[in-house]
Amino acid sequence: MSLSKDYLDAIPPIYQDVLKAFPKIDPTRKRGYGLAMQTIYIRLEEEGKQYSLGEIRTACENLAAE
């Protein structure tokens, strides 16, 4: 699924950061293949983002529910 810039700009920053992290972590990841929450957490932490693991887990669960 390709996400439009308008969509990304309209959602809260944590969702933007999580969605943008996926291709940075594994550009060859196929659709439907997930990533460990800890992997996303570490990537965002390396980028200077200050989210807790619980916040990332909740954001990922909310994105999956949508």
Kindly tell me the burial class for residue 20, based on how many C-beta atoms sit within 10 Å of its own C-beta (0-12, 13-18, 19 or more).
middle
For 1-51, how does the pLDDT look when each residue is reduced to its tens digit (9 = 90+)?
567 778 778 899 999 999 989 888 988 888 888 889 999 999 999 999 999
What is the model's pLDDT at position 49? 95
5 by DSSP, 3-state: which? helix
Going from N- to C-terminal start, the domains of the chain cover: 5-65
pLDDT score, position 50: 94
Average pLDDT of span 55-59: 96
Are 49 and 12 in contact by the 8 Å Cβ rule? The answer is no
pLDDT value for 47: 95
DSSP per residue, 17-65: HHHHHHHHH-TTPPTT----HHHHHHHHHHTT----HHHHHHHHHHHHH
pTM reported for the whole predicted model = 0.81
pLDDT given at position 1: 53
